[in-house]
Structure 1
Amino acid sequence: MKLKAALLASVLALTAVPALTWAQTAMPDPLDDRSAKRLDKMDKVVRELRAIVFQGRDTGKPVVVQAAETDAQIAALSERLTDLEKTLTKLNGQNETLTHDLDQARQANDGQKARADALEQRLVALEKRLADQEVATTNADTAAAAATSAPTSGDPGAAFKSARQLLLDGDYGSAEQAFAGYVEAFPDSAKAPEARYWLGETQFVREAYGDAAGNYLGAVRGWPQTNWAPDAVLKLSRALVALKKPADACKTLDELARRYPKAPAAVTSRAATTRVQAKCAA
C-alpha cells in the first residue's frame, strides 16, 4: 500500500514539471503590429459601411458618403478660400468704382473752383468799375459845381494851366469840364486847338469816341505844325475805328503820313497797328 502511494507520487511529480514549464513559456502572438493595424482599419471600414447601409435603410434618402477627415478639412478650406477670393474680387471692383467716383468728384470740384474763381474775378472787376464810376461821377459833380460857383478865369493862360494840371493829376472828369469851359470861354485863343486836343483825350479815355473824334478834328483843323498834332490825328483815326468807320480812319492815316512825315516813331508805330485794325489797303 505504501509502495503504490510512493509510485503515484513519483508519477505526479514527473508530470508536474513539464506542465509548469509549459505555463511559464509565453505563446508567440500570431498577429504582428502591422496586422493589428490592418485589422483596425478593416474594422473601421466595416463600421462605416454598416452606418451607410443603416442610414439608407432607416431614412430612405440618398446615402452621402463623407470624405475622410483630412479630405473634408481640405475641401472646407478650399471652399472658404474660394469664398474669400470672390469677396476680394468684389471688394476690388467696389474699390475701383469708388476710385472712379472720387476722381469724378475731384474733377467736378476743380471745375466748380475754377468757375468760382472766374466769378470772383468778374465780381472784383465789376466792383472796381463801379468804384471808378463813382469817383468819376463825384469828380464830375465837383467840377460842375466848381464851374457853376466860379466861372472861368478871365486869364486864358491860367485857365489852360489849371485844366492841364487836372489832367496830369488823373482827374479826367474835372479836366474834361475845365477844357470844355476853356474852349467855350476862349474859342479864338492860341491855345484853343490844343485845349480841344486835351478835351478829346479826356473823352477818349472814357470811350466817348464820338465826342473825342469831334474835338480831335477841331484840334487839327488847318493841320497845325505842333508837337501834339500828329498824335491828335492818330487818335482821330483810332476813334473812327472804334466808331466802325474804317474807310474814314484809313483816309485820316493817309493824311497823317502826308502831313506829318517826321512824326515821332511811337506815333508811326501805332499808326501802322491802326492800319491793320482798319484793314487799310497797303
Structure 2
Amino acid sequence: MTTTFETERYGDRLFAASHRDENERLECLAGTFDPVSAENLLALGLDARWTALDVGAGSGSLSAWLASVAASPDQVTAVDRDTRFLTPLAAEGVRVVEADITDPAFHPGRYDLVHARFVLMHLRDRDEVLRRLASWVKPGGLLVLSDALAAGGETSPHEAYRRTITAYWRMLAETIGSDRHCVAQYPRALTELGLRDIGLHTHLPVVGLHDAFSRFLALTLDQSRGRLLGAGLPEAAYDEAVKHLNDPSAREVFFAMATCWGRTPVLP
C-alpha cells in the first residue's frame, strides 16, 4: 500500500522552531558545517567591506560569523520565516528580518554576498526562488548556495539504517517537496542565469566520527519518527537503526554539503 503524506512547508510542523529540540538540532548542523562554509567564503574573497544577506539563517551562527568579519554588524542581514533564534543577533546590530523569501513582494535589496544554506532543497518553487536570489546580488557580487546531497544512506550495508534513511528521504520529498539531489544542478542553473566563475565544493561528514553531525541525525530522526512509522517503516527497523547509530563504532554517511557559487557580471 502506498502512503500519501499531507503536504506542508518546512517548519510548519516538521522541524518547526517551536519544537523543544529544534534549536539544538540546528546548532548541531551549524557546528558541523559552519567551519566549512566560513572557509569557502574566505577563499572566495569575503572581507570587511562586504554587505551580506544570509537567507534561512536558522540558529544565526553563520550570520554571527559574517558580522564578525564585517566592518560593522549592520552590513549583515539575516532573514528567516521564524526569527526566534535570531534575537541575540539583533541585539548585536545585525539586521534581522522575518519574511517569506518565496513571497514575490519581498525585496530585501542588493548585496555583495547572498548566501543560502539548506534552504532551496526544501522549496517546491526552488527554481523561481533561485532566480530571485540571484537578482539580489550586486554586480560583481557572489551568490553562494549550499544544500544536502544524499550519499550512502540508501546504499548502506546495514539494513535497518538503509531502510530508515530511504523512508526518511521519501517522506521528506512527499511531505515538504525536498529534493536530496537538486544541488547537483546548481552549476548549470547559475550558468544559465548568467553568473560567472562557477565553482562547487563538497564536504561529507561521517556519523560516528563527527559528534555534532551524529547528534543532528539523531534529533532529525527523532522528530521524523511518527511520520516514518505511520508511512509503514517497521518500528523494529527504526529502533535498530537508532541503536546502530548510537554505537560509537558506527561509520555511516547521511549527506554531503555541496556548495555552489557564482559571480554576477560587472556592469560596463
Same fold at TM > 0.5: no
Larger radius of gyration: 1
Looking at secondary structure, tell me which structure has more strand per residue.
2
Looking at secondary structure, tell me which structure has more helix per residue.
1
TM-score scaled by length of structure 1: 0.23
